[in-house]
Structure 1
């Protein structure tokens, strides 16, 4: 495999075969790495070197990624002794984290846990939340107006809105959002934090959530965690305190971090080419499909989804031995011309749009209905309230979030 634009991205694997350093950087914050197309065409299963120094196999074609994510042989057992560690710190990062120890990651146990939690994230329940989400967005925009422009849309709207929503669902105070943000970042660490800092932050996070779960057991409310303290699965069993703590942590991190980043990226993508924003102003009925297209078109989604195989498997005519860690790049798959006509064009009316931004199969994102509701609500309110919105810097001057599993923009400077 050859690379002509960034030779430093190549390392030599343990068997002498060349491997790419992963994640692969793009040339600009909103642009995909040139390597994606080359990998899909020439090397659909590529050896990569992770920030930990461990090796994995990267899958980039749409059909291959969808198949791996849906195939039960490709498991989430990233705590196996021979699974690749993801993060540069000793613990290996969120995918190798003990956070998952108290929640079954495979089989019927995982599906039972998922069914218990998923009741809170149905499309119908999320749709009912939309008026409240829109009202909160209005308040945050009012505050942004008071501060004047240029403003950072991520700090003013993208971050506080999803934090408020997930805190309401969990029954935790959103006034603690700065602590949640730091704890989340350390959990999602790739290269930003050292082991001691990660361990200290996660100990604080566990202590906080354990106290919160104890309070919910003593005095339940009408929030998700309170309900989970009394709900039972099909076998009549309740979640343990440890499972409740891990559930609370996982939902708090997933419920705000990815959506907060996606709000900023979505707006930046739409404003980077003014014709996109004008198209939405002219036809607001495109908001739903525009959100789906932003999810598909996102070239800065973060690490992707790792899987671990306990038996030999084959992907794209490549034999993968038992113990291989496979990284699925959903973002690269979402730019596959074999799956999407004009894949490198952002078509706001694209339908159908079977993108893989939320994964596929039994482990697809639990909170995707919530994410869609928030993104649609935010976009709708912004189009109505600030039709003159524009980027305050050139799109090529936007900067990526670095050193974390999630992808995002450090800030989204806007004016109106």
Structure 2
């Protein structure tokens, strides 16, 4: 849906929430799905086990006109356990790497890297692209360190991530080739870790799992974390700073009270009007939702961003309030499939904001907010660049 500017929501969201909370929409494939825009409906679907991630069911809507369906229907997604006990076991194994204790231990290293990237950006001179200088390198460095893969291969990771997350740009042959390359790379990495484990997540899964994990699960786990750690937080850093700098009063409020960093990060996550296509779910049985009966086989698209602007859930939902607390936004989803790496994402977002407020108080956009440009075609939303000066 078209929006008036890169940081602003489509006007259609408000109308849909009021008049048509379960709306028929056409996907890039041409197939039809049901779009949800109300907070309560989106939260229910994301938390309800009847709405599954079986997007390769024979009667599910195709997200794209290719066979793969991008990241949602990739070999990686279909290899990992998506439902039930198997999914919960997998989450528990991975989740211990994203605990509050581990994030506290990781934080000094993230701070040091953020400071280094900011110093390098300043040394190169203004204006600069904050997304390219800080937004992308920081999360990539962190996730590479976590997985024990070389940061020097980040150009390859960027290409493979872009291919998986792009719903319209690539042909089926290009998608197949990229996924094959990505799989072969990660299999070689897993094989090397089996021979010589290190202090990283994949080595821990190889040596510490109660039951040996097959290579396919280890490969898919590495791919999933690399894609998620590469694109989502990197794009969110750019959007967060865009939102804070587009209204000078917000940035000056942070400068006056840096203790607002944590609530400012949460509010940026809630206020983000460009998170991407949303979260698809497949309905394996008839369900009533939003006053309508959805038949079996319905594919539902949850717009967490539209839900996060719902006046029924948030007072003054259309305003960015850096002091908002509590803030039960749905940016990381809800229920058993909520974002596994949200503690890491929060740590990275908070660190970037803390470092920039401390080191670059004069930071400002180098263009008018209306000149910022969205990334188009990705399942994950973002800005093409964030030009800044200081």
TM-score w.r.t. structure 2 length? 0.99
Is residue 370 from structure 1 mapped to residue 344 from structure 2 by the alignment? yes
Q: What is the match of residue 266 of structure 1? A: 240
Instruction: Check whether the contact 1:89–1:193 (CA below 8 A) recurs between aligned residues.
Output: no
Q: What is the match of residue 335 of structure 2? A: 361
Instruction: Check whether the contact 2:161–2:230 (CA below 8 A) recurs between aligned residues.
Output: no
Of 166, 181, 185, 2:158 maps to 181
What pairs up with 1:84-95 in 2 under 5 angstroms? 84-95=61-72
Of 304, 310, 323, 2:284 maps to 310
Distance in 1, Cα, partners of 2:55 & 2:208: 28
Distance in 2, Cα, partners of 1:100 & 1:150: 40
Distance in 2, Cα, partners of 1:400 & 1:356: 21
Instruction: Check whether the contact 1:116–1:231 (CA below 8 A) recurs between aligned residues.
Output: no
Is residue 344 from structure 1 mapped to residue 313 from structure 2 by the alignment? no
Q: What is the match of residue 118 of structure 1? A: 95
Is residue 221 from structure 1 mapped to residue 195 from structure 2 by the alignment? no
Distance in 1, Cα, partners of 2:386 & 2:376: 15
Distance in 2, Cα, partners of 1:218 & 1:397: 51
Q: What is the match of residue 222 of structure 2? A: 248
Secondary structure of the residue that 1:89 maps to in structure 2?
coil
What pairs up with 1:94-133 in 2 under 5 angstroms? 94-133=71-110
How far does the alpha carbon of each residue in 1:153-196 deviate from its partner, in whole angstroms, 9 at most, with x for none? Answer: 00000000000000000000111111101100100111111111
Detail structure 1 runs of 4+ shifted over 6 Å in the superposition: none
TM-score w.r.t. structure 1 length? 0.93
Deviation of 1:84 after TM superposition, in Å, equals: 1.2
Secondary structure of the residue that 2:353 maps to in structure 1?
helix
Q: What is the match of residue 210 of structure 1? A: 187
Unaligned residue ranges in structure 2 (runs of 5+): none
How far does the alpha carbon of each residue in 1:204-261 deviate from its partner, in whole angstroms, 9 at most, with x for none? Answer: 10010000000000100010000111232xxx42221000000000000001210000
Of 249, 272, 276, 1:298 maps to 272
Q: What is the match of residue 51 of structure 2? A: 74
Unaligned residue ranges in structure 1 (runs of 5+): 1-23
Deviation of 1:123 after TM superposition, in Å, equals: 2.0
Instruction: Check whether the contact 1:85–1:93 (CA below 8 A) recurs between aligned residues.
Output: no
